[in-house]
Structure 1
Amino acid sequence: MTRIALLLLALALSACGGGDDRRPPPRPAGSKPVTLNLPTSQETRACFADLSREGIRFSPLPDRDYGGGCTLIGAVQLIDIGLPVAGIKGMRCGVARGFVGWARNAIAPAARQMLGSDVVRVETMGTYACRNVVGQAGRPARLSGHASGNAIDVSAFILRDGRRISIERDWRSADPAVRDFLQTIRKSACRRFGTVLSPDYNAAHYNHLHLEDDRATFCR
């Protein structure tokens, strides 16, 4: 076979090659969000139904690809859970459902019973954020659970009597009731979320509880 014939054969075979070569390249981080036309999964529909059954006001969000591997799929914006919450944006419905149950059935009664006052506001450091995991020096970079709206960071609790119980200041409080309150709600979170990270885990979590709906069993 001549050299020209071999070249033509190689070109023909490459034209018939696998579909991987025809996939669109990954979208760069920070590019304009693209709305995805995806069917709502059965899991997400069940989650919406659970929130509605509990009387939670929420708004389903469109599925979006933000580039760089960051997406928000099956997400909601919580509007009213019966307790004011600061700092929340869109989050996957499973995280929202776990957070609502935790706030209503763990935080509220624990504060009333252990601190003698009702929680009137929960402060957070947000939900969705297109970024990598922080605090893992020396390890390969990987996307955080926040990059898919699958995590929420909780930083403080405001009580009716005016006290502000914060993770940063009070995790090792001199007041045993405050310490016990924070340890109790962390233990409850560990039963509701796959990954729960606190100041006991590493320095990156000195000021918040990281709650992630990832079906893991890691509580620190």
Structure 2
Amino acid sequence: MDVTREQNYLGVFDGKVGFGARPAVVVIDFTLAYTTPGSPFYAEGVVRAVRDTVPLLAAARRAGIPVIHTKVMYHPSGADGGWFVRKVPALRKLVPGEPLAEIDPAVAPLPEEVVIVKQYPSPFFGTPLAPMLAALGVDTLILAGCSTSGCVRAGALDGVQHGYRVVVPRECVGDRHDAPHDANLFDINAKYGDVVGREEVVAYLSGLTARAA
């Protein structure tokens, strides 16, 4: 009997983790490299995701929860990029002083929000993110950013492996092609966290705001 992809996952890969009590939003690599036409990394899907993340950030800030941003940047020699920059040579352009390496102003960090500089896909790998989240008492990661099939997926995988509930608002992540975007959202939702609508996340954050008032 032929079964659909969804039927093949029922009862095994359809669990839910839900929201915890102490969330943080991690905004992964929403830089001008992805939103500037003509850039090697430009992706319309990321432009949409940046736009759709603005209300999410507003809700997180009203709730007073941590908002942490990441961006990718390398030494001009590229030595800190290892084989990653050899596999993807266009990354070598993301060096200090390069405007494309900076976060898109539409989702600009506030002065009190930490910006983590990373060299590899996961926001956890080689960064202070894990100890920072532990010190803040965070139990839930809300992931926005790009690309869905790269750094967001890596963040979801490492997030669950570090012991966090992982939630991905689907409108707030983007990629350069629908196929890897959709496939990776499906896989994240099946194995590593919950992929939900942005408004569900905003409603959850609004509830935290109301309880704190």
**What is the TM-score of this pair, normalised by structure 2?**
0.31
Considering fraction of residues, name the structure with more strand.
Answer: 1
**What is the TM-score of this pair, normalised by structure 1?**
0.31
Structure with the larger RCO, 1 or 2 (CA within 8 Å, 6+ apart)? 2
Structure having the higher Rg: 1
